[in-house]
Structures are given as C-alpha cells and as structure tokens.
Amino acid sequence: MRDIIAMLTDKFLEVIDSDITHLEMAKSAMDHLKASVIKRDEEQLKKILAIVENALAAYSNVENQREVIRRELAKCMKCKLDEMTMTKLKDYVSLEQAKEVARKQNILKSLVQDIKENHMVTVMFLQECTRLNDKMLAGILGDRKELTYNSNGHGRWKNVTASSSLVNLRF
C-alpha cells in the first residue's frame, strides 16, 4: 500500500506543480492588468483576457486530475476525501516525499496569500479608476448620481450636482 501511496504522491506533486504555475500566471496577469490600465493599452488588455481565458480552459483539466488523485489517495489512506490534505499526506509518505509535500504546501500558501492581497489591490484600483472616470464624465455632463464605496467595499449611490463635480462647465 505504501508503494501505491508513494506513486500517487509523485503524481499529486506533479499536479501541484501545475497549480503553482497557474497561480503564478494569475498573479502575473493581475500585475499586467493594472499596468495596462494605467498605460491605457487596450490591445494588451485584450491579450491578457485571451491568455486568462485560455489558461482557465486548460486548468480545468488539472483540477480534474488533482481530484482523481486525491480520491485515490483518500481511498488508500482510508479517509474521507475532505480529510485528504497535504498535511495528512505527509504522515503516509517517506521523509523525502514529506519534505517535498511540505515545500510545495508552503509555496502554495505563500502564492495564495499573495494573490489574495494582489486581488484586493487590483479590485480597489479598478474601483478607483471607475470612480475617477465617473467624476470626469459628471464634470462634463452635469448632475448625476455617484457611486461611492465604504471601507468594506459596499457601494452607495448619492446625488451629485454639477457645482460639486470635478469640472464645472457653467459660465
């Protein structure tokens, strides 16, 4: 049984490598997205969208592989699928494999944390871009409603008059 678990662990680690690559690509895409918005590079934005769409389509295959291997490992380890974690897996494999599982687990944790932070920054950046665009349009077009966000990211509409807009076009 240990040999089967060792073989499945090797396959699992290969899939985890794909997960790491996917997460690194997602992090990079968010950085490129912000840079492209700042530069107003519409062509680059289209390329980023195409890359992300292609990566997502290919990534579903990786997710399926991971789940199949996790099911097999859970069966070998005599535990439920939701109990089959990388932490638990370390108890069933050789010291060398356990070290590799731990290393990849740390990489995944770090990447996920970075992506959460990067995602929050990207969302806030895009919301601010939207707010500034709305302000400029209101200055040009006059009275309108404005969407503002609180610190929790919840939006609130309020009436804004042309006299309080960014640019006043009245003479």
Asked whether residue 72 carries a pLDDT value surpassing 80, the answer given is: yes
Compute the average pLDDT of residues 8-14: 95
Q: Which residues contact 97 (CB under 8 A, 6 or more apart)?
A: 6, 9, 10, 13
Is 169 part of any domain? no
**Strand spans (E) along the chain:** 144-149, 155-160
Per-residue pLDDT of 121-141, as tens digits, reads: 988 888 888 888 877 877 776
Is 39 part of any domain? yes
Question: With bands split at pLDDT 50, 70 and 90, how would you rate the model's confidence at 18?
Answer: very high
Please give the Cα distance from 2 to 148 (Å, whole number): 58
Q: Read off the pTM.
A: 0.72
Is 137 part of any domain? yes
Number of domains the chain contains: 1
Is 170 part of any domain? no
Please give the Cα distance from 161 to 48 (Å, whole number): 37
> Which H/E stretch holds residue 118?
helix 95-141
Backbone angles phi, psi at 148, to 5 degrees: -120, 155
β-bridge partners, 147: 157
Percent of the chain topping pLDDT 70: 88
Is 52 part of any domain? yes
Half-sphere exposure of 118 (CA within 13 A, CB side): 19
Please give the Cα distance from 117 to 103 (Å, whole number): 21
Residue 37 structural domain: 2-164
> Which H/E stretch holds residue 167?
none
Q: Which two tokens stand for residue 90?
A: 């370390």
Is 171 part of any domain? no
Per-residue pLDDT of 56-69, as tens digits, reads: 888 888 999 999 99
